Amino acid sequence: DVKVTQSSRYLVKRTGEKVFLECVQDMDHENMFWYRQDPGLGLRLIYFSYDVKMKEKGDIPEGYSVSREKKERFSLILESASTNQTSMYLCASSFPTGGGETQYFGPGTRLLVL
Amino acid sequence: GQQVMQIPQYQHVQEGEDFTTYCNSSTTLSNIQWYKQRPGGHPVFLIQLVKSGEVKKQKRLTFQFGEAKKNSSLHITATQTTDVGTYFCAGGRANNLFFGTGTRLTVIP
């Protein structure tokens, strides 16, 4: 079974703090993704990575950065957290399935920025 | 902008009634995937459709991929309380996956 883990289920931070969200997958997947999920907006892609040290911007990268130093680990960084970054953050990883890529999600981190 | 639209956003049904959610893309997709997210949980992959006009069934769930590969539907027959959650479609194109906004299903016992 694919396992994707995230460092925290719940996190409370103050405006201006630097926030690290960690994601680890144990299936040697090349691809990893960070999404945020907000009511009525579905899943919005923040950043993704196809390989170590590679990163690509998603739909809403502003205010975020990422790091992929090892294949199994993909970190999302909020350099200076703001209240509009309060959200559920979901990490996912995937392998090619021939015509598309099934994504496996972590349990999510619910971040509250005060 | 939103590449894949999904309707309805919310659906409340009486237990035993049927339920359908629809997914539409403005561009041709290479595949369509469906995910289910239980309340408090994370999205879990259900199925993938690749061929034009493809229909797949999983027990009471029927998934369709349109002939033009631009739309898809998920139909649940005789809903049960275990069906509650948010159903997401995700369209694959150019090595990317574009998620719909999801349909939140509530089943009233």
The pLDDT of residue A35: 96
Tracing tokens 């099934």 back to the chain, one arrives at: A102
* Interstrand relation of A109-113 and A10-13 (parallel, antiparallel or unpaired): parallel
Query: Is residue A27 within 8 angstroms of chain B, CB to CB?
Result: no
What is the amino acid identity at position A33? F
| Cβ contacts of A101 on chain B, cutoff 8 Å | 92, 95, 97
Q: What is the DSSP letter of A50?
A: S
B45·A102 Cβ contact <8 A: yes
Chain B: residue whose CA lies nearest to A106:
B42
Nearest to A84 by CA among A62, A102, A106, A66: A62
Closest Cα of chain B to A15: distance in Å?
A: 25
Catalogue the E-assigned strands of chain A.
Answer: 4-6, 10-13, 19-25, 31-38, 42-49, 56-57, 65-70, 73-78, 87-96, 101-105, 109-113
**Three-state SS at B35:** strand
* pLDDT more than 70, % of chain B: 97
Predicted confidence (pLDDT) per residue in A28-71, tens digit = 888 899 999 998 888 999 999 988 999 999 889 999 999 999 99
Q: What is the DSSP letter of A31?
A: E
> H or E stretch including B88?
strand B85-93
Mean pLDDT of chain A: 92
Closest to A104 (Cβ–Cβ): which among B30, B45, B50? B45
Q: Which two tokens stand for residue A96?
A: 């090619």
Query: Is residue A95 within 8 angstroms of chain B, CB to CB?
Result: no
The pLDDT of residue A76: 98
The pLDDT of residue A37: 95
Predicted confidence (pLDDT) per residue in B69-91, tens digit = 999 999 999 999 999 999 999 99
Nearest to A96 by CA among B50, B35, B24, B5: B50
Which of B21, B42, B89 to mutate to probe the A interface, most A CBs <10 Å? B42
The mean-pLDDT minimum among A19-23, A52-56, B11-15 falls in A52-56
**Burial bucket for residue B2 (CB in 10 Å: 0-12, 13-18, 19+):** middle
